[in-house]
């Protein structure tokens, strides 16, 4: 069974992946991310999620409904499978694939399989 993924994009082609039954994680660039319970281990350190807050080495993200507020005044709105960041980043999710277009012409593709997400 595929899991629905909602993506919220942050600065420098970072994003929030919200995967029901797994956790919410912040993708902060290339690499592999593994989620166990409320913790995600990625190339930039460990993240922890408690309720609507996700703590990362780069700051705290808070989610209320379809809006996520990140560090440094960034915010993100999700409508269906598309997320718009206040920094001009957008992302779209189709099944287990997420396509991110960053503010500086950078692109990432993230694929989720079980508790692992690979971004390149």
Per-residue pLDDT tens, the chain, 120 aa: give them.
333 344 444 434 456 655 443 346 788 889 999 999 999 999 999 999 999 999 999 999 999 999 999 998 999 999 999 999 998 999 999 999 999 998 888 899 999 999 999 999
Q: pTM for this one?
A: 0.79
**Does residue 14 belong to any structural domain of this protein?**
yes
The answer to the question of residue 27 being in a domain is yes
Say what the alpha-carbon torsion angle 50, 111, 57, 103 is, to the nearest 10 degrees.
Answer: -120
Domain tally, the chain? 1
Domain assignment of residue 70, yes or no: yes
- State residue 88 phi and psi, 5-degree precision: 95, 0
Is residue 1 one of the residues assigned to a domain? no
Q: Looking at beta carbons, which pairs linking 57-61 to residues 24 or more positions away fall under 8 Å?
A: 58/14, 58/26, 58/28, 61/8, 61/10, 61/16, 61/24, 61/26
Domain that holds residue 64: 6-119
Q: Is residue 10 part of a domain?
A: yes
């Amino acid at each position: 069974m595929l899991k629905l993924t909602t993506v919220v994009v942050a600065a420098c082609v970072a994003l929030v992946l919200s995967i029901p039954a797994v956790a919410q994680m912040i993708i902060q660039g290339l690499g592999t991310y593994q989620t166990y319970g409320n913790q995600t281990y990625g190339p930039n350190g460990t993240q922890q999620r408690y309720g609507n807050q996700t703590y990362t080495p780069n700051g705290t993200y808070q989610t209320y409904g379809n809006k996520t507020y990140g560090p440094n005044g960034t915010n993100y709105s999700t409508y269906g499978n598309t997320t718009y960041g206040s920094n001009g980043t957008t992302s779209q999710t189709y099944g287990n694939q997420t396509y991110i277009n960053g503010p500086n012409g950078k692109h990432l593709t993230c694929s989720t399989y079980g508790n692992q997400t690979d971004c390149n």
